Amino acid sequence: MALNVAVQMDPIERINIRGDSTFALLLEAQARGHRLSYYTPDRLAMIQGAVFATTQPLTVRDQAGEHFNLGDGQRMPLSAFDVVLMRQDPPFDLNYITATHFLERIHPKTLVINDPAAVRNAPEKMFVTEFPQLMPPTLLTRDLAEIKAFRAEHGDIVMKPLYGHGGGAVFRLTREDLNFGSLYDLFSTNFREAWVVQKFLPEVKDGDKRIILVDGEFAGAVNRVPAADDLRSNMVRGGSPKETELSPREREICTTIGPKLRERGLLFVGIDVIGGWLTEINVTSPTGIRAIRNLGGPDVAALIWDKIEKKRKG
Ligand SMILES: Nc1ncnc2c1ncn2[C@@H]1O[C@H](COP(=O)(O)OP(=O)(O)O)[C@@H](O)[C@H]1O
Ligand SMILES: [Mg+2]
């Protein structure tokens, strides 16, 4: 059964196809005979509650520089599609939240992956707090006294923005670090929200593991080891992907959170685990599936399309 699939994503000409999970999903969909259409979030329009976008027919090819072809734009009601992949990248800001409201109008009649209301309700570093037993000691606040007390208790800490992504503005502070006061001031002027103060996990030198769950079940994993001169494991910051297996603790994390993800319609999720501690549950536009495949792991894109096809059949 061929599906009409629309992908809402950032400009396709700018993606790096080697590592792009959205691109892997598109290649797999096309190989299965599904019809692809493409639009960027700024083409969305809502009129009297009905959602439209100017979409373009899309074909993809696994060849850098010549990786896509787009047909003529056509204004379409998004409800005309069987599936919409919401794959725009963070920042998770009011623009993102607005897009989830748009897509909520068509879901679930048109299957939106991931469920847009659930995406809105699960900012990645906030969602983790529903599983306190799985997370490292973590404080969310902008209150100086709270941070000082947490720092006195835990020694080395990490400070990072609650809605940050890609390793942006992630700092480690040792117990004695004299930059704390200035960094506090910088955070309080730059961020309007509470931010994350977390116990520093020395195991990060062995990597931050990205584990993919599809419809609540473990589907594949890749370890990301930070460069020697950086705290951050994010691949965009020089972290290197390494083949990996799950420890018993990581399996326990998957079986604990899996059912909650499935309940909420969060079909494609990437969680991050450092030293056996859950630090993020990525539901917006998780990455890692190409790295998993390149390292000889499972074909997560195929698992995702198996699930989507099954759901569309009812
Ligand atoms: N508590 C921590 N202990 C050690 N390293 C950390 C900690 N928190 C974050 N890091 C490092 O910083 C990177 C980015 O932090 P993360 O919380 O994943 O935010 P982002 O959303 O920007 O990826 C992680 O991959 C890890 O290398
Ligand atoms: Mg991360």
**Cβ atoms of 187 and 161 closer than 8 Å:** yes
Amino acid at position 162, single letter = L
Cα 258 from Cα 126, distance rounded (Å): 17
Cα 13 from Cα 35, distance rounded (Å): 19
Measured from CB, residues less than 6 Å from any atom of ligand 1 are 136, 158, 160, 164-168, 170, 198, 200-201, 204, 208, 226, 231-234, 272, 274, 279-280
**Cβ atoms of 45 and 53 closer than 8 Å:** yes
**Which residues are catalytically annotated?**
125, 160, 210, 224, 232, 272, 280, 282
How many whole angstroms from 103 Cα to the centroid of ligand 2? Answer: 25
The residue contributing the CA closest to ligand 1 atom 10 is: 232
CA distance from start to end of the chain: 13
The secondary structure of residue 199, as a DSSP letter, is E
By three-state DSSP, how is residue 115 classified? coil
Q: Which residues of the chain have pLDDT under 50?
A: none
**Cβ atoms of 117 and 104 closer than 8 Å:** yes
- Closest ligand 1 atom to residue 232 Cα is 27
The tokens describing 300, both together, are 């997560």
Q: What is the best residue among 203, 231, 236 to mutate for testing ligand 1's pocket, by most ligand atoms within 8 Å of CB?
A: 231
Cα 112 from Cα 126, distance rounded (Å): 22
**Cβ atoms of 68 and 58 closer than 8 Å:** yes
Full-model pTM: 0.97
Cα 106 from Cα 116, distance rounded (Å): 10
Give the pLDDT of residue 314. Answer: 73
**Residue whose tokens read 């569309």:** 312
- Closest ligand 1 atom to residue 272 Cα is 18
- DSSP secondary structure string for all residues of 239-302: -EEE-----HHHHHHHHHHHHHHHHTT--EEEEEEETTEEEEEE-SS---HHHHHHTT---HHH
The tokens describing 54, both together, are 């100017």
By three-state DSSP, how is residue 11 classified? coil
Q: What is the best residue among 160, 163, 211, 284 to mutate for testing ligand 1's pocket, by most ligand atoms within 8 Å of CB?
A: 160
How many whole angstroms from 35 Cα to the centroid of ligand 2? Answer: 32
Q: What is the best residue among 154, 274, 280, 281 to mutate for testing ligand 1's pocket, by most ligand atoms within 8 Å of CB?
A: 274
How many whole angstroms from 162 Cα to the centroid of ligand 1? Answer: 11
Give the pLDDT of residue 150. Answer: 98
How many whole angstroms from 1 Cα to the centroid of ligand 2? Answer: 36
**Residue whose tokens read 């993606």:** 15
Go through 65-84 and write b for each residue having 16 or more CB atoms within 10 A of its CB, e for each that does not. Answer: eebbeeeeeeebebeebbbb
- DSSP secondary structure string for all residues of 152-190: HHHSSEEEE-TT--TTTT-EEE-TT-TTHHHHHHHHHHH
Give the pLDDT of residue 1. Answer: 87
By three-state DSSP, how is residue 12 classified? helix
Residue 136: phi and psi, rounded to 5, are -70, 165
Report the relative pairing of strands 50-60 and 44-47 from DSSP bridges. antiparallel
